Amino acid sequence: MITLVLRRLGSVLLVMLVVSGMSFLIFNYLGDPVNNILGVNASLNEREELRRTLGLDQPSYVQFWHFLQRAVVGDFGISYRNRLPVLELILSRLPATVELVMCATVLALGVGIPMGVYCALRPKGAFSRLLQMISLVGISIPQFLIGMLLILIFSVELRWLSAFGRGEVVQIGWWSTGLLTDSGRKALIMPVITLAVFQISMIMRLVQGEMQEVMRADFIKFARARGLTDRSVHLRHALRNSLLPVVTVVGMQIGSLIAFAIVCEAVFQWPGVGLLILQAIEYADFPVMAAYLAMVGFGFAMINLTVDMIYLFIDPRMRRG
Amino acid sequence: MTAALALDVRDLSIVFDTRRGSMTAVQEVSFTLARGEVLGLVGESGAGKSLTGNALIGLLQAPGRIAGGEVHLDGQRIDALPPEAQRRLRGKRIGAIFQDPLTSLDPLMTVGAQLVETIRTHLPLSAPAARARAMDLLAEVGIADPAGRYGQYPHQFSGGMRQRIVIALAIAAEPDVIVADEPTTALDVSVQAQILSLLRRLARDHGTAIVLVTHDMGVIAEIADRVAVMYAGRIVEIGPVTEVLHAARHPYTAGLMGLIPSLSRRADRLPQIAGSMPRPGQWPVGCSFHPRCPSAGPRCAADVPRPLSADDGMVACHLFSGGTLSPPAP
Ligand SMILES: Nc1ncnc2c1ncn2[C@@H]1O[C@H](COP(=O)(O)OP(=O)(O)O)[C@@H](O)[C@H]1O
Ligand SMILES: [Mg+2]
């Protein structure tokens, strides 16, 4: 078990190295940092001077090593656009995105799993068919369309919810949360739903499929032969055994939620990392892009690690070796 | 008479409802079991043995359903009870063991937890008392070091050990009847004998009646008190094991006995009698066995032979009810 954890950590390190390599390439070779900083009119001497102070005159591997050293302590340089440290910029935007993604995940699990269980137990019922139809729509409809429909109904027509921003936020240390104020919570509703619709549908269909499969297993028949209640057979035995693949997919989905969040943040003008990176791309703000890439890579690796740990927790068969 | 009977099955019929109408798969099966008795239910694959066993424990899966007959457990009719009442009987008064011990246990739960869960479903025990009982059960079915094994998962046990745990689960609430469907078929030959003697001991020590479903006459010879032979959805002969083994009356039984694998050369499945058993929906008119029967006469192709009870046995064959030659007088 320890070796398994160590192996996983090793692969996380490897992934991080590759990702930082890519982000280093973006940082150093896309655009000319010297031009970006000094402008095109600077003299040759000034340029050479800056090159030396930035270390750009050294071989690439030395530069990469320095880049890594700085990245490890969170130093990704200064944003070209607003002259602020990149780390500070990203950290100020991170809470908005994390809250959005976390709320969407909780909603997707909280709604998707019960719906999947229901459909697995009554696959031929009228309500199950309705849910299956809705989930098919939920999977096929593009996200920005959901967002715009929500805005049209709840902001434009009904005027219940504001269509942009986070509402009031409360500062807790460096973290800013919208969960503690009414307007903050209301502002979360539409973006979270927009982001979660696809996940709900996915998780529901996944749970239903897995659980129907597991319900045919011998140990379910034997659980019934032991006289266990339906509740116990369905939830303690069938559902638990259906959740392993769900854990994997949900892990990957949280990763892709971070990516999907870009669209969602654009639609709702949500001041998160997604919006930041859109602006960074527009302004060719390479340090921000490099840092974002490293951060997303790190996020993915951490999620994968967590998924593996959950696997170990749920499935005793994995604990060998 | 009924007081001593653990199980009394009368004229049990099972049909499948299909789009093209209903198809009978088990027809008018009757047998009884006394306390502590082991009845072997034997026949070729597809005869309807598992369907019968599933019907007894109330776990017949749709589209199959009981279309007629009655099942009595200790004198109480159980097949017509509402589902919840049947659920409460299952595991408590009638238990089951299935073929494959590798897939019968929940892989994500320790064997101890599965035992405790079963015990507490049926018996009003506190958690520590249930745990103590679970250890006793593990010891009873021959698991060494029950305390150490209690917290282990199914994958940490061998196939034979897992079947022992399945048996411990089946007897957790001391049922009067256990339906064991091919309990040794998936096991190594060396382990088979151990499991059979364990079942034998349970029947003797606890008075548990066992219906042992198998297609292996060797298993029957080793464990059964009486044998019921099934062919194409019907029971064609019932009798004490020695009589059926050595003085079979029904030609089908006689054919099966000719095929008993010797102890040194045990085959996995029965070698075929010439021809093959018809599937449900394709049963011939008259006696279902007549196309393969060496003694068949004109009457066999016309009439279904009525079961003829004699002593503690039964045979359904025209040879014993007036001959195979003449079709019956109108
Ligand atoms: N779900 C089903 N639908 C249609 N026919 C079935 C179904 N289950 C079993 N049967 C048929 O019923 C017959 C008896 O099956 P079974 O009781 O499993 O036989 P066995 O004696 O080998 O245990 C078989 O011929 C099988 O084809
Ligand atoms: Mg069978």
Q: ipTM of the predicted structure?
A: 0.90
Residue B213 CA: nearest ligand 1 atom is 23
Residue B158 DSSP label = -
Distance B48 CA to ligand 1 centre (A): 6
Give the whole-number percent of chain B exceeding pLDDT 90.
65
| pLDDT, position B327 | 62
Residues A190, A100: Cα–Cα separation, whole Å: 10
Q: By the CB < 8 Å criterion, does A219 face chain B?
A: yes
Residue whose pair of structure tokens reads 């549908």 in the numeric block: A201
Calculate how close chain B gets to A315, using CA atoms only, in Å.
6
Give the whole-number percent of chain B exceeding pLDDT 70.
93
Give the pLDDT confidence of B149-204 residue by residue, as tens digits.
999 999 999 999 999 999 999 999 999 999 999 999 888 888 999 999 999 999 99
pLDDT at B265 over 50: no
Give the pLDDT band of residue A23 (cuts 50, 70, 90): confident
Tell me which of A39 and B59 has the higher pLDDT.
Answer: B59
Residues B78, A80: Cα–Cα separation, whole Å: 81
Q: What is the mean pLDDT of residues A182-190?
A: 87
Give the pLDDT confidence of A155-165 residue by residue, as tens digits.
888 888 877 88
Choose the most confident range, by mean pLDDT, from B131-145, B247-261, B285-299.
B131-145
pLDDT at B330 over 70: no
Give the whole-number percent of chain A exceeding pLDDT 70.
97
pTM over 0.95: no
pLDDT at A196 over 70: yes
Domains of chain A, residue spans? 87-285
* Inter-chain contacts counted by CB atoms under 8 A, chains A and B: 76
Task: Report the 10 Å Cβ neighbour count for B21.
Answer: 9
Distance B181 CA to ligand 2 centre (A): 7
Q: By the CB < 8 Å criterion, does B119 face chain A?
A: no
Give the pLDDT band of residue B1 (cuts 50, 70, 90): very low
The DSSP element (H or E) to which B226 belongs, if any, is strand B226-231
Q: CA angle at residue B288 from B286 to B294, to 5 degrees? A: 100
Residue of chain B with shortest Cα separation from A226:
B91
Residue B181 pairs in a beta bridge with: B213
> Given an 8 Å threshold on Cβ–Cβ distance, is A218 in contact with B100?
yes
- Mutation pick for ligand 1 pocket among B16, B65, B215 (CB with most ligand atoms within 8 Å): B16
Show residues of chain B in contact with A317, CB under 8 Å: 107, 153, 155
| pLDDT, position A305 | 85
Closest ligand by atom to B17 CA: 1
Q: By the CB < 8 Å criterion, does B153 face chain A?
A: yes
pLDDT at B305 over 50: yes
> What contacts B32, CB < 8 A, 6 or more positions away?
B5, B7, B8, B9
Q: By the CB < 8 Å criterion, does A216 face chain B?
A: no
Give the pLDDT band of residue B270 (cuts 50, 70, 90): very low
| pLDDT, position B272 | 53
Give the pLDDT confidence of A87-120 residue by residue, as tens digits.
888 888 889 998 999 999 999 999 999 999 999 9
Topology of the domain comprising A87-285 = MetI-like fold (1.10.3720)
Nearest CB to B121 within list A227, A240, A315:
A227
